[in-house]
Amino acid sequence: MIDMKNVCFDYDNGTHALHHISLKVEDGEFLFLVGQSGAGKSSLLKLITCENVATSGSVFINGYNLGKLRKFEVPYFRRTMGMIFQDFRLIQNMTVFDNVAFVLRVTNHSNKYIKARVPYVLDLVNLRDEANKYPHEMSGGEQQRVAIARALASGPPILIADEPTGNLDPALSLQIVELLFDINRYCGTTIMLVTHEHELVRHFGGRVVSIENGQIAFDEVIGGQNEGK
């Protein structure tokens, strides 16, 4: 659960990036966060991932009060959140299996667990048979699916997708967002998808939070164009 109350954030140079943001995202929700370049999306995400701390107001996520988080607690907090990015961020000299297994290895999971868990998450993204491939042998859409599998490997309650379709053509973008909706429904993962692609949002519909000039301009549920199809 994400609960931001009356959050302001100023950069050191005095830029007021976020003004009095209040945003609650319940467990299991799927949310689009939209806004023009410079609106404050990244600043908001950096508060959610605890890269920055709110100048005022409070941020509670997955039981952690981020304003009071001690330094040693930050990595534990971050493990409650999976992240995917526009540029996939896969390790090029590792196979698909090892890219996904990596996060489990660094958090000291047993080999037995890893051998069972990695095929399970690869199955979720329909890449069960691609475990031995390297990222450069895969299409952009497939690489993003590997990144999604990696983000889900440790079973985080929240997945943050930061412009996940920015490097993909429109058809693949739809597939990736459809996959994220499936994961939201099937695994119950709370998903926040940050995008500036309004077409995508209109296509799917759902809860849309729009940021303008560091403020929430609207927070509404809209109908999708593919409803009933």
Interface with ligand ADP (CB under 6 A): 11, 13, 15, 17, 35, 37-43
Q: Which backbone phi and psi does 198 adopt, to 5 degrees?
A: -65, -30
Closest CB 43 distance from ligand ADP, rounded Å: 3
Q: Does residue 125 sit in helix, strand or coil?
A: coil
Greatest CA separation found in the chain?
51
Closest CB 121 distance from ligand ADP, rounded Å: 28
Q: In the complex with ligand ADP, which residue's Cβ is closer, 37 or 108? A: 37
Distances (CA, A) of 146 to 27, 119, 200: 24, 11, 21
Q: In the complex with ligand ADP, which residue's Cβ is closer, 18 or 25? A: 18
Output the six-digit token pair for 172: 């693949």
Task: Report H helices in 24-139.
Answer: 41-48, 74-78, 96-106, 111-124
Other Cβ atoms within 10 Å of 12 Cβ, number: 5
Closest CB 57 distance from ligand ADP, rounded Å: 16
Buried b (16+ CB within 10 A) or exposed e, 67-81: eebeeeeeeebeeeb
- Angstrom distance (rounded) from CA 61 to CA 73: 13
Q: In the complex with ligand ADP, which residue's Cβ is closer, 66 or 101? A: 66
Closest CB 142 distance from ligand ADP, rounded Å: 27
Q: In the complex with ligand ADP, which residue's Cβ is closer, 43 or 173? A: 43
Closest CB 150 distance from ligand ADP, rounded Å: 23
Q: In the complex with ligand ADP, which residue's Cβ is closer, 15 or 226? A: 15
Closest CB 41 distance from ligand ADP, rounded Å: 3
Q: In the complex with ligand ADP, which residue's Cβ is closer, 39 or 125? A: 39
Which residue in 75, 43, 77, 84 sits closest to 61, CA to CA? Answer: 77
Task: Check: CB of residue 114 under 8 Å from CB of residue 56.
Answer: no
